[in-house]
């Protein structure tokens, strides 16, 4: 059985101008770099894109710019449309469909302590709003709690729901989901331990650090598919060196400092998000010159 959405996707970041406003020009520069890395696709408008700090109109504008940048290149586009209210989510989903996106994804509703039944209801309505396949999302670190296994199985059984982005360390739960719903697509969301998700049957990954090091993750996935586990471990170690540094600096501020270090200005992160260290720019510039990291830049 062929699955429509598989492989390695960059969880695309968002570019701002010097005043902190969404910048179409800078977004195009970012898109151009990410698209050169051989990834299967882009995951647009998610947490890595600071979507929780953007309004609906900015996310609609970003969708359009990315669709334009990727036109004719064979890149798959998944629009993340998980907003605090269902009406905005549906508006984003319907525009993505008109723009030619290949799929949708959405955080579960998380503005309040919603029940599993309310989460399933949200996904049911969102999945019915377009004809695009929907990738649901399990990410307790972002939403504050895991979704129950039974609720996830029920959600994966909804019409138009094609799979799940699983960003949780509960790998037994991941395996149970795969056994219960083997026909669905499974994306693994932790860059630094992608190898574990792949070995357990993930169909691909969606990650923040793929923006800068997409070539590394494409190689990691190819090595795993070829069965060369020792080489895959070497590549995962490189990923972990990079992620460890980001965690000290702040993941998104560090990524943006990394882009600045290679001459691509994507602006700063939007307030109130700040770097955790004062020397983040210099540390990222040094890190990207490291002989283990530099060959994987596009």
Phi, psi of 202 (to 5 degrees): -60, 145
Please tell me whether residue 75 adopts helix, strand or coil conformation.
coil
Cβ count within 10 A of residue 215: 17
- Is residue 213 a contact partner of residue 221, using CB atoms and an 8 Å limit? no
Q: State yes or no: cis peptide before 279, omega within 30 of 0.
A: no
Catalytic residue among 137, 186, 194, 210: 137
Which tokens in the block code for residue 139?
Answer: 């990410």
Return the sign of the alpha-carbon dihedral for residues 212, 257, 165, 71.
negative
Closest CA to 62 of 35, 21, 22: 22
- Is residue 45 a contact partner of residue 55, using CB atoms and an 8 Å limit? no
210 carries an active-site annotation: no
100 sits in the region (left: phi over 0; alpha: psi -120 to 50; else beta) called left
By the 10 Å C-beta count (0-12 exposed, 13-18 middle, 19+ buried), 162 is classed as buried
Residue ranges in the chain assigned as alpha helix (H): 24-35, 56-70, 86-98, 116-128, 140-143, 149-156, 171-180, 194-199, 210-225, 229-249, 251-261, 280-287
Catalytic residue among 76, 165, 184, 256: 165
123 carries an active-site annotation: no
Catalytic residues: 137, 165
């Amino acid at each position: 059985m062929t699955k429509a959405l598989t492989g390695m996707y960059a969880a695309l970041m968002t570019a701002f101008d010097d005043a902190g406003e969404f910048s179409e020009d800078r977004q195009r520069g970012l898109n151009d770099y990410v698209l050169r890395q051989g990834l299967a696709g882009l995951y647009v408008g998610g947490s890595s894109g600071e979507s929780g700090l953007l309004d609906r109109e900015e996310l609609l504008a970003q969708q359009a710019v990315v669709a334009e940048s990727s036109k004719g290149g064979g890149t798959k586009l998944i629009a993340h449309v998980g907003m605090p209210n269902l009406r905005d989510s549906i508006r984003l989903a319907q525009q993505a469909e008109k723009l030619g996106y290949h799929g949708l994804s959405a955080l579960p509703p998380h503005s309040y302590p919603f029940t599993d039944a309310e989460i399933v209801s949200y996904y049911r309505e969102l999945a019915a709003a377009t004809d695009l396949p929907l990738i649901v999302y399990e990410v307790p670190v972002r939403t504050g709690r895991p979704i129950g296994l039974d609720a996830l199985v029920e959600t994966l059984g909804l019409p138009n729901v094609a799979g799940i982005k699983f960003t949780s360390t509960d790998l037994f739960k991941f395996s149970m989901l795969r056994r219960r719903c083997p026909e669905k697509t499974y994306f693994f969301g932790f860059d630094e331990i992608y190898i574990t998700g792949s070995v357990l049957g993930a169909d691909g990954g969606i990650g923040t650090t793929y923006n800068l090091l997409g070539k590394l993750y494409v190689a990691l996935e190819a090595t795993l598919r070829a069965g060369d586990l020792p080489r895959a471990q070497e590549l995962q170690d490189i990923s972990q060196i990079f992620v460890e540094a980001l965690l000290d600096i702040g993941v998104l501020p560090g990524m943006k400092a990394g882009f600045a270090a290679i001459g691509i200005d994507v602006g700063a992160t939007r307030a109130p998000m700040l770097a955790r260290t004062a020397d983040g720019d210099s540390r990222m510039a040094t890190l990207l010159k490291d002989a283990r990291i530099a060959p994987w830049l596009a």
